Amino acid sequence: RTVYVNGDYLPEDQAKVSIFDRGFLFADGVYEVTSVLDGKLIDFAGHAKRLQRSMDELDMTAAIDMDELLEIHRELVRVNDITDGLIYLQVTRGAADRDFLYPAEDTPPTVVLFTQAKPGLADSPMAETGMKVVTIPDRRWGRRDIKTVQLLYPSMGKMEAKAQGADDAWMVEEGAVTEGTSNNAYIVKDGVIVTRHLGEEILHGITRKAVLAFAREAQMKVDERAFTVEEALAADEAFVTSASSFVMPVVSIDGQQIGTGTPGKTVARLREIYLEEMRKAAV
């Protein structure tokens, strides 16, 4: 693979960052994952906007030129010959001698991008079978709306899910589901799509925003509010959204089947609309 690091395109084994990088020492960095379908980027504008917001919220003052960033994404798709896959982007506050206080504002950020080829990304068999989730307590920090590289707890959650024979975990705080370890969580009850309202408790998913807009356009009812695990267990359907899974059905929670135990109609329709519209709008 050819990867990008601080202005250079390099073979992956020659790309290096400092051991003093604040991303490495303090998880002082933010990231985005953008999907590629048919060689084109899905919702790049949404990811670029959220990247800027994450940086602003952390007072990361480095100027990132979003047009240039788009060109880097496209170049990596081209040189790595990616048809379907993902592009990972990370920006950290840069390298400086270890100190909790932020370094001088003119410290150059570290900007890294790499591709992951995922042939058939939009035809995942899981979209047909649905996924199994387990619930775990949400033990992350309080600013989950900022897309930082602090992914240890989500990583632990996925390990716990795997240990229980499931595919992923939904995190629960004060009885209510916040989100999945790497996706936003939804239930459908009596025709109403319910997903947690935006706030500091969840990541403001780029896929979530698009899916809810498509749902409303299709005259589906949407209720943005917290929901409990009990409500989820009694729901007709459940699903998750993310840039890498798009819209993915959930068919069981903590070993209990949801609805019929097979992917529901609402989720199937939303997945179809999302993929069709986003392919059209891809850059």
Q: Which residues are catalytic?
A: 147
Other beta carbons within 10 Å of 24: 16
Using CB under 6 A, which residues numbered 1 to 60 contact ligand PMP?
33
Binding mask 230-249 for ligand PMP (x = CB under 6 A): -----------xxx------
Q: At its nearest, how many Å lie between ligand PMP and the CB of residue 48?
A: 12
Q: At its nearest, how many Å lie between ligand PMP and the CB of residue 8?
A: 26
Kindly tell me which residue out of 90, 92, 115, 182 binds ligand PMP, with binding defined by CB under 6 A. 182
DSSP-based helix, strand, coil % in the chain, nearest 5: 30, 30, 35
Q: At its nearest, how many Å lie between ligand PMP and the CB of residue 246?
A: 9
Query: How many residues contact ligand PMP, by CB under 6 A?
Result: 13
| DSSP of the chain | -EEEETTEEEEGGG----TTBHHHHH--EEEEEEEEETTEESSHHHHHHHHHHHHHHTT------HHHHHHHHHHHHHHTT-SSEEEEEEEE--B-SS-SS---TTSPPEEEEEEEE-TTGGG-THHHH-EEEEEEE--S-S-TTS-BS--HHHHHHHHHHHHTT-SEEEEEETTEEEEETTBEEEEEETTEEEEPPPSTTS---HHHHHHHHHHHHTT-EEEES--BHHHHHT-SEEEEEETTTEEEEEEEETTEEPTTSS--HHHHHHHHHHHHHHHHH--
Q: Determine the Cα–Cα distance for residues 47 and 237; give it in Å rounded to an integer.
A: 28
Distances (CA, A) of 94 to 18, 107, 144, 198: 9, 6, 22, 30
Output 2 or 52, the one with its CB closest to ligand PMP. Answer: 52
Q: At its nearest, how many Å lie between ligand PMP and the CB of residue 243?
A: 3
| Residue 25 identity | L
Q: Please choose, out of 84-92, 119-127, 198-206, 251-259, the segment that lies near ligand PMP by the rule CB under 6 A.
A: 198-206
Output 95 or 195, the one with its CB closest to ligand PMP. Answer: 195
Using CB under 6 A, which residues numbered 139 to 178 contact ligand PMP?
none
Q: At its nearest, how many Å lie between ligand PMP and the CB of residue 205?
A: 3
Using CB under 6 A, which residues numbered 66 to 85 contact ligand PMP?
none
The answer to the question of residue 184 lying near ligand PMP (CB under 6 A) is: yes
Q: Please choose, out of 71-79, 100-108, 123-131, 204-212, the segment that lies near ligand PMP by the rule CB under 6 A.
A: 204-212
Output 111 or 210, the one with its CB closest to ligand PMP. Answer: 210
Output 207 or 266, the one with its CB closest to ligand PMP. Answer: 207
Q: At its nearest, how many Å lie between ligand PMP and the CB of residue 184?
A: 5
Output 174 or 190, the one with its CB closest to ligand PMP. Answer: 174
Output 95 or 169, the one with its CB closest to ligand PMP. Answer: 169
Residues making contact with ligand PMP (CB under 6 A): 33, 179, 182-184, 203, 205-208, 241-243
